């Protein structure tokens, strides 16, 4: 069985532990985003993941999984599966309806109440987008999208870190343009940018930019995300990845996760299946060959997660111009 010692970690430049050293983010974490939100299997899966050695857990207010995560951690501490909260790295995210300067602090405090914790390890702006306060959380209605005052929201995020409510702050779904905007005024730079990344959406331009700025990338949807059963998944159904997996005696999922790991990023992967939870941390102790990497570099690229897919399906609600989408999406246009 995997143990927490087998999952390596990466130091975060603008995140410090109680001892004053740079805090570290475990390179494999458990994602808790599921649709429909917050299934009953969430808490048991988290408890099993803790037993397998997972110490990095990713949640968000929109996922409705914060309470289940908090309950699972509380039980793990009571039963001896964990010895201390300090063993964990907990990430949560600010949803778009709270992406207003005066709503950030109340939002993180509500997250901490849900988790039954005093602090987060990482708090992220979920999307570079703002919605009307009180708007329906999901699906998003185009009429509820407002201009994001990134400077004032980031100032509130920095206050969260200064108050000790989170040990680090960052962003999610930010492209290089939005990161450049943020870095112009940030007093505390983002420690992390969490984005969709897998062999079918490799994010090379964004990765190079973040590396140069000292921003760690966490990859979500490393296996291609939830897919339409009538359409092949560009990752899990990839013949290239299948052939590599067969030659290595690994699964397609492990090959994809190993490729992501070898790019120098961390990964959060969602599975509530016991066998796959174990499989997903068994990506260390072997590596891809140069020929494997070359073949993967040639996989056709296709982005799955985008704002348009999050919008209400009502036609009158879905009319956003391309330039408006570019403000809130993570497409890197050459």
DSSP state at residue 143? G
Cα 233 to Cα 253: distance, rounded to the nearest angstrom: 12
Cα 53 from chain centre: 19
DSSP state at residue 200? T
Residue 63 annotated in active site: yes
Instruction: Check 16, 54, 63, 220 and give the catalytic one.
Output: 63
For 221-302, list the strands marked E by DSSP.
Answer: 266-269
Q: How many residues does the chain have?
A: 334
- 22-26 and 9-16 beta bridge pairing: antiparallel
Cα 241 to Cα 300: distance, rounded to the nearest angstrom: 12
Q: Return the C-alpha torsion angle 194, 198, 204, 205, nearest 10.
A: -40
Cα 48 to Cα 33: distance, rounded to the nearest angstrom: 17
Residues 6+ positions from 66 with CB-CB distance below 8 Å = 59, 60, 92, 111, 114, 115
Alpha carbons within 13 A on the beta-carbon side of 152: 10
Each as own residue / partner, the long-range contacts of residues 318-321 (CB below 8 Å, 24 or more positions apart, any chain) are 318/142, 319/142, 320/142, 320/145
Q: Which of 331, 297, 314, 260 is nearest to 144 (CA)?
A: 314
Cα 315 to Cα 20: distance, rounded to the nearest angstrom: 52
Hey, which residues are catalytic here? 63
């Amino acid at each position: 069985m995997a143990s927490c010692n087998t999952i390596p970690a990466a130091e975060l430049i603008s995140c410090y532990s109680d001892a004053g050293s740079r805090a570290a983010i475990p390179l494999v974490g458990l994602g808790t985003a599921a649709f429909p939100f917050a299934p009953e299997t969430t808490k048991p899966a988290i408890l099993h993941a803790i037993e397998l050695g997972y110490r990095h857990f990713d949640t968000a207010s929109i996922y409705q999984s914060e309470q289940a995560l908090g309950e699972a951690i509380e039980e793990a501490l009571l039963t001896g599966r964990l010895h201390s909260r300090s063993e964990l790295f907990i990430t949560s995210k600010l949803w778009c309806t709270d992406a207003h300067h005066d709503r950030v602090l109340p939002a993180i405090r509500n997250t901490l109440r849900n988790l039954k914790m005093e602090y987060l390890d990482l708090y992220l702006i979920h999307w570079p987008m703002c919605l009307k306060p009180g708007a329906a959380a999901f699906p998003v209605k185009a009429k509820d999208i407002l201009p994001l005052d990134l400077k004032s929201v980031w100032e509130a995020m920095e206050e969260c870190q200064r108050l000790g409510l989170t040990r680090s702050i960052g962003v999610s779904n930010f492209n290089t343009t939005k990161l450049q905007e943020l870095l112009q005024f940030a007093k505390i730079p983002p420690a992390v940018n969490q984005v969709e990344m897998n062999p079918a959406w490799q994010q090379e331009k964004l990765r190079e930019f973040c590396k140069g700025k000292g921003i760690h990338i966490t990859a979500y949807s490393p296996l291609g995300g939830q897919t339409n059963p009538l359409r092949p998944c560009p990752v899990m159904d990839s013949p290239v990845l299948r052939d590599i997996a067969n030659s290595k005696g690994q699964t397609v999922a492990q090959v994809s996760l190993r490729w992501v790991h070898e790019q120098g990023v961390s990964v959060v992967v969602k599975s509530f299946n016991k066998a796959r939870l174990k499989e997903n941390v068994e990506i260390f102790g072997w590596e891809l060959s140069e020929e494997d990497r070359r073949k993967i570099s040639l996989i056709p690229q296709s982005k799955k997660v985008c704002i348009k897919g999050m919008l209400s399906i009502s036609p009158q609600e879905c009319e956003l111009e391309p330039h408006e989408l570019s403000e809130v999406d993570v497409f890197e246009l050459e």
